[in-house]
Amino acid sequence: MRNFEFYSPTLYSFGDGQEKNVGALIRRFGGTKVLLVHYGGDFVKWTTAYDDVVSALNEAGIPYAELTGVQPNPRSDKVYEGIEIGRKENCDFVLALGGGSSIDCAKAVALGIPYDGDFWDFFSEKAKIETTLPVGVVLTIAASGSEGSGHCVITHENGNLKWGIPPTDVVRPKFAILNPRYTSTLPKYQIACGAFDMFSHVCERYFTRTPDVRLTDRISEALMRTAVEAGNEAVKDPSNYAAQADLMWIGNLAQNDSSGLGRIPEWSSHLIEHELSALFECAHGAGLAVVMPAWMQFAMPTGVMRFAQFAVEVWGCEMNWEHPEVTAQQGIDRTRAWAKGMGLPTTLGEVGATEADIPAIVAHRKEKGFPIGFYIPIKEEEMTEVLKLAL
């Protein structure tokens, strides 16, 4: 295990009805006027979450302004709009209602309000993140783990660049209210995307070459096994509270870094996927179901025993000591089959890309730079190979 620092200051308020605490939590973290960031549209009708939060704010006597219309894979235009509203209305706290898209938009707005320059400077790494307005979250989809993470991903309109900030504890939310009941209104496809996303967050940390990481391996294997079980159950019956509750907490543990401490992570599947969701507008979890198994296929020959461990401990495959690569392959096949079984795409064609698009996808990534990933450093040639394995 390598040396590490872990600072995860988010307060979690978990369970049915916990959204009633939102006013008290905002006050506790110094908020007096809130910018409420959410999807708007049908979402407001489908779930009671919006009405519940607005009632709780009114009851607590906390005034609020709103930024609505956040799209999946949130875009810079909404961030600029939010910064303008937040400044004009003198908001001192940003409250995200929704999932990764609302939360990341809220985080970017909270970075931008107190900053003199363009908020994108933090994504293009022209400026270092030092301060932010405080952010709180009421979560309605278990997936990104942004409710507790130090990450934030935005797509800039200019060039369609889907880039993240360098991870920093500064942007971790002050609190996250996690009511699994809210996720019962999710379309099954979104539940599946979320389950695959959180599974991938664990994979990105699990596939490491750091030795002596037994404890975090076991935490990771438990998270992945439970994501598979709970994902299947919740897709079958979105009103299954127990399954949705598991997913909601896994989503957080998978991405707040508890499973990644003391080891060098991987991350190239995520960075390759960001190109797919930017260019082909697929859901992030769907893009991962295409890329992650293809990356596994690419990487497995360089780490057969780790992939065999994954197959045995996560998927319950029998270890073939004579031919461990057979066991390793079974783990990859089971991962792809799980995604397929939940109704997710597993080939580039299913998200609208063809072999002819591969050079453009790779070139688009080049704008941010290579190499990516740590398990195997990936440059243009390797990224092309991974994408070809997803055809």
* Residues near ligand NZQ, by CB under 6 A: 39, 41-43, 46-47, 72-74, 98-102, 104, 140-141, 143-146, 149, 151-153, 182-183, 185-186, 190, 193-194, 197, 255, 270, 284-285
User: Whose CB is nearest to Zn ion?
Assistant: 197
Query: Considering CB distances under 5 to 8 angstroms, the limit depending on partner class, which of ligand NZQ, Zn ion, none binds residue 46?
Result: ligand NZQ
User: Whose CB is nearest to ligand NZQ?
Assistant: 100
Query: Considering CB distances under 5 to 8 angstroms, the limit depending on partner class, which of ligand NZQ, Zn ion, none binds residue 335?
Result: none
Residue closer to Zn ion by CB (options 66, 197) is 197
Q: How far is the CB of 258 from ligand NZQ (least distance, A)?
A: 14
Residue closer to ligand NZQ by CB (options 39, 64) is 39
DSSP H or E segment with residue 154: strand 153-156
| Contacting residues for 89 by C-beta, under 8 A, at least 6 apart | 33, 35, 65
Residue closer to ligand NZQ by CB (options 140, 330) is 140
Q: How far is the CB of 100 from ligand NZQ (least distance, A)?
A: 2
x/- track of binding to Zn ion for residues 187-216 (CB under 5 A): ----------x-------------------
DSSP H or E segment with residue 161: strand 161-164
The verdict on 147 binding Zn ion (CB under 5 A) reads no
Spatial separation of the C-alpha atoms in residues 112 and 121, rounded to whole Å: 10
Spatial separation of the C-alpha atoms in residues 223 and 214, rounded to whole Å: 14
Residue closer to ligand NZQ by CB (options 72, 317) is 72
Query: Considering CB distances under 5 to 8 angstroms, the limit depending on partner class, which of Zn ion, ligand NZQ, none binds residue 208?
Result: none
Strand-pairing partners, residue 138, are: 97, 177
DSSP H or E segment with residue 34: strand 34-37
Residue closer to ligand NZQ by CB (options 100, 303) is 100
Query: What does DSSP assign to residue 4?
Result: -
As to burial, measured by CB atoms within 10 angstroms (0-12 exposed, 13-18 middle, 19+ buried), residue 45 is: exposed
Q: How far is the CB of 156 from ligand NZQ (least distance, A)?
A: 13
Q: How far is the CB of 284 from Zn ion (least distance, A)?
A: 6
Short-list 56, 141, 60, CA closest to 97: 141
What token pair was written down for 164?
């993240």
Supply angle C-alpha 72, 227, 165, rounded to 5: 40
Q: How far is the CB of 317 from ligand NZQ (least distance, A)?
A: 27
What token pair was written down for 221?
């294997």
Short-list 244, 20, 259, 239, CA closest to 148: 259
Q: Which stretches of the chain bind Zn ion, using CB under 5 A? A: 197
